[in-house]
Chains A and B, each alone.
Chain A
Amino acid sequence: MKRRAFLIGGLVVAGGGAALLVGAGRVVSERVGGADALAPSPNTVALNGWVRIGSDGLITVVLSSVEMGQGVSTALPMLVAEELDVPLTMVRTERAPWAPRYGNRTVFGFTWWFHPDDQESWLARRFTQMAQINGALLGVQVTGGSTSVRDAYETLPLAGASARAMLIAAACARWSAQPQDCKTSEGAVVHVSGKRLSYGELALEAAKISVPGAVRPKPARERKLVGTSAPRLDLPGKVTGTAIYAADVRLPGMLFAAVRGCPVPGGSLAHLDATAALSLPGVVRVLAYEGAAGCAPGVAAIAHNSWQAQLAVSACKVDWNEGAQAALSSEQLLDGMRVMLEGEGSGFVFHERGQGAAALESAARLVQADYSAPWLAHATMEPMNCTAQWLSDGSGGRLKLWVPTQAPSFALETAMRVSGLTRERIELVVTQLGGGFGRRLETDFLIPAIALARASAGTPLQVQWSREEDMAHDFYRPAAVCRLRAGLDAQGRVMAWVTRSVSDAVTPQFLARNFPMMATATKYLPDRTQAEGIWDQPYEIPNRRCAHVTYETSVPIGNWRSVGHSHMAFFAESFIDELAHAAGADPLAYRQGLLASHSRHRAVLELATQKAGWGQTLPAGHALGVALHESFDTIVAQVAEVSIEGTRPRVHRVVCALDCGTVIHPDIVAQQVEGSVIFALSACLYGEISYRDGRVQQSNFPDYELVRMRNAPRVETWIIPSDAPPTGVGEPATPPLAPAVANAIFALTGTRLRSLPLRLA
């Protein structure tokens, strides 16, 4: 990998020292910042915007990503600990303040829809950089798009290396020594003579020192910590029950609230009779709140404990104006979407090569199939909740919020908009998240909490949604249908790949909810997430056309782990399997034949199939299915071993290989693969949200079933060694699971299942 040198001369003196920074490293160097970039905290000294040193020698690393189980509170500090030569046990983390340097830049690189084959072209690189520079200006703190490690990968090593250089310079000043005679080890600067000063002793002086010359993070071959599976820093609190999630915040005088939102999208409150609710024990108050930020309007009950509040809100007699969507039916919506599969026009063409669809006409043989996938709920284990306290201070008040959010910046924006308070008057505390998966990119769950806190004059309020409310008021993975057509030549080789998919678009809905001023503008921009996973396939097919038709619905939709890839991979990788069988070829060999110049994809595919024993004898009644899919720039192949038990597929084992570039923490990669496989398997076997008479039909785990211990497959993770920059890990192992399972079912039964969830009769 190419290493960059970063000039940080004058950084401290100039408080940013931009004039002395040159070349490609400038943006990153500015992001590191000087010793004044962080507010002082007791007994610590900041050396830049990301690193503090305590007088006890402990290191604090600033986290701009949110911990939701994906391991960022371990993987990111490792990048700093590596440069400082300290064990990970000497590192703590703190949440980033609001400065723009903490905004996620990488996630904005996903704005465009360049085919992965073109990604290294100058044009694609410049467009991606432009989007990332926009991200730097926006300074949006958001954890999503599998970007946390990627976004930190240049900044945090440089922050660690520059802190180290300052500490060495401070030691040299004390000793009148030369930097080349010093090394760092176990949290101290050590001179060749054996003299030693701990970081804690040096921190104050280091912060005043200007570092001359260039600072280079360690080359990969010198790393000792990065690339190892150090114990996660967040686990002790998670096995002792002491980790604090937003629902665990307990404040003096706190009251507890339960909510009931209007069950029909777009509906409103007609009448509330709270008489019965108010007569129940412990009930303090019942009130209605307005909808905003995607949150339905509703009613809330405030009581002395959550149980009393839940009973009270259930006892409210509520009439809803069901509005225009009173008859909303998912079956009708899917029928409408299927109609849009016919015809050629009116879609947005995300990708076209060769003769496009015209090539079908000269094919020796046509293969065509229609696929579909339903809406899905996120069902995070911690149902939506938020805690709020509105303190009056005589000049409009101050709002304190405890929010389980993936996107602190979006949460702040919504809090400002609905409260009318300025940024300075809102304090936002981000806690541990009991799962995110895209659900907590939304800000709807702040709305009742802010409304109730405003009405409660200083009393802290915790608003806990029931599981039923959480499930009925999600922003679902959009349903989609797709028609795939392929033209084969006389030898069965695929010459043309033509897809037409139909779904609603997540991004305009998301922006309209969270940034209403952008509501109309975004409707005219193509949303790449709609059809991602189908137009960005690696297969070397000379003629291609991938079009998508937007079918607007009133169903609230959002970002669900791997977004468009979650269903498009099922369509594409099942259909490739169909083509292999149509050609009478082995599904592995057929794919290899279409990847002649995609050696990284081939390597991943071959590793997974080799480790899974592709082509070897299996227990009777078992079969293997394979799928290959790239998303978030990570290439993943999975092989599923499946049998049929009764009328249900049983997945025994999933072997996963992936190329995700440089790996910071291999065991966290394995954890994310295991988690993604189980998450995807729940969707593959059971997942379906449906509407009837305007209402979501599923309400809790009996009717929205998830994989449990007894039906969890064994998952194996194999990582391709790489020194390329890191790519996404949190999501990319989700998309290939469903097609791998469906392909195994076909191998086993001869039945091609083209609709999720997979049901055998």
Chain B
Amino acid sequence: MTTATSFVLNGERVVLDIEPATPLLWALRDQLRLTGTKFGCGIGACGACTVVVDGRAQRSCVTPVESVGGHAVTTIEGLGANQLHALQRAWIEHQVPQCGYCQSGMLMAALGLLNEHPDPSDAQIDAQIDNICRCGTYQRARLAIHSAARALQASKQAEKK
């Protein structure tokens, strides 16, 4: 039985006529045709499908779409929609991706981390970035998270002045 589910996706209100238990991942990929968010395991174990809901990283393959009703969802398509986000710039500066398949999820997990810890320690990165990257881009992703954190802090400082 489909019902109308409404939420804010990348800053715009969307209304989906969908079975409420459908994982957000498939609502995004198949119904809304936003394919930047990837399928990796279907059980929340790999993080390829990570999106940000109300500022927190969440695995969309185990998130029923009804649970985001009324909430704000950000996907990779919404990250730096106008100009590249500091994380994306840092990702390019450190040449992080290889095959790139897990990187949308890795970036969204990093966004969630920086929302919570604007200047994360290595231990906080280890604890929260639990995504699998089969190409082994971890050390570059770590450096890029630190770079992006510094860049965001610096631009905040500049705004204050």
A414 contacts B by Cβ under 8 Å: no
**Inside 8 A of A383's CB, which chain B residues have their CB?**
39-40
> Which candidate, A157-165, A582-590, A669-677, is the interface stretch facing chain B?
A669-677
Q: Out of A232, A381, A467, which one reaches B101, CB within 8 Å?
A: A381
B99 and A248 form a contact (CB under 8 A): no
- The distance in angstroms between the C-alpha atoms of A433 and B101, with both chains bound, is 8
Interface residues in A32-88 (C-beta closer than 8 Å to B)? 68-71
**Inside 8 A of A437's CB, which chain B residues have their CB?**
134
- Residue of A at shortest CB range from B133? A381
B138 and A712 form a contact (CB under 8 A): yes
B134 and A381 form a contact (CB under 8 A): yes
Given the contacts A235-B97, A239-B97, A674 and B131 also touching, CB distance less than 8 Å:
no
Interface residues in A231-250 (C-beta closer than 8 Å to B)? 231-232, 234-245, 247-248, 250
Number of interface residues of A (CB under 8 A): 64
Q: Kindly name the residue among A237, A436, A467 whose own CB sees the greatest number of chain B CB atoms within 10 A.
A: A467
B40 and A239 form a contact (CB under 8 A): no
**Inside 8 A of B102's CB, which chain A residues have their CB?**
381, 434
**Inside 8 A of B134's CB, which chain A residues have their CB?**
379-381, 435, 437, 679, 706
A281 contacts B by Cβ under 8 Å: yes
B101 and A241 form a contact (CB under 8 A): no
Interface residues in B122-161 (C-beta closer than 8 Å to A)? 125-127, 129-142
B58 contacts A by Cβ under 8 Å: no
Given the contacts A231-B92, A435-B99, A709-B126, A381 and B40 also touching, CB distance less than 8 Å:
yes
B22 and A307 form a contact (CB under 8 A): yes
Interface residues in B16-41 (C-beta closer than 8 Å to A)? 19, 22-23, 26, 29-31, 33-41
Q: Out of A237, A240, A464, A709, which one reaches B141, CB within 8 Å?
A: A709
**Inside 8 A of B101's CB, which chain A residues have their CB?**
245, 380-382, 432, 434-435
- The distance in angstroms between the C-alpha atoms of A97 and B103, with both chains bound, is 30
- Please report whether the interface of chain B is mostly helix, strand, loop or mixed according to DSSP: loop
CB distance from B16 to the nearest CB of A (A): 11
CB distance from A402 to the nearest CB of B (A): 12
- Residue of A at shortest CB range from B125? A709
Q: Out of B40, B43, B129, B136, which one reaches A678, CB within 8 Å?
A: B136
B36 and A240 form a contact (CB under 8 A): yes
A271 contacts B by Cβ under 8 Å: no
B103 and A239 form a contact (CB under 8 A): yes
> What string of 1s and 0s marks CB contacts (under 8 Å) between A216-236 and chain B?
000000000000010110111
B7 contacts A by Cβ under 8 Å: no
- The distance in angstroms between the C-alpha atoms of A71 and B98, with both chains bound, is 7
B36 and A242 form a contact (CB under 8 A): yes
CB distance from B161 to the nearest CB of A (A): 29
CB distance from A288 to the nearest CB of B (A): 23
B42 contacts A by Cβ under 8 Å: yes
- The distance in angstroms between the C-alpha atoms of A168 and B45, with both chains bound, is 57
- The distance in angstroms between the C-alpha atoms of A714 and B95, with both chains bound, is 16
- Residue of B at shortest CB range from A379? B134
CB distance from B121 to the nearest CB of A (A): 13
- The distance in angstroms between the C-alpha atoms of A625 and B55, with both chains bound, is 44
**Inside 8 A of A239's CB, which chain B residues have their CB?**
84, 88, 91-92, 96-97, 103, 107
A701 and B45 form a contact (CB under 8 A): yes
> What string of 1s and 0s marks CB contacts (under 8 Å) between A692-721 and chain B?
000000001110001111101011000000
Q: Out of A237, A242, A436, A708, which one reaches B138, CB within 8 Å?
A: A708
**Inside 8 A of A706's CB, which chain B residues have their CB?**
132, 134
CB distance from A308 to the nearest CB of B (A): 8
A268 contacts B by Cβ under 8 Å: no
Question: What are 9 of the A-B contact pairs (CB < 8 Å)?
Answer: A234-B100, A240-B84, A241-B34, A241-B37, A250-B33, A671-B137, A700-B43, A709-B125, A709-B138
Binding site for A on B (CB under 8 A): 1-2, 19, 22-23, 26, 29-31, 33-43, 45-46, 48, 75-77, 79-80, 84, 88, 91-92, 95-104, 107, 125-127, 129-142
In the complex, the 7 A-B pairs of residues with the closest C-beta atoms, listed nearest first: A241-B36, A678-B136, A69-B99, A434-B101, A238-B100, A69-B98, A241-B76
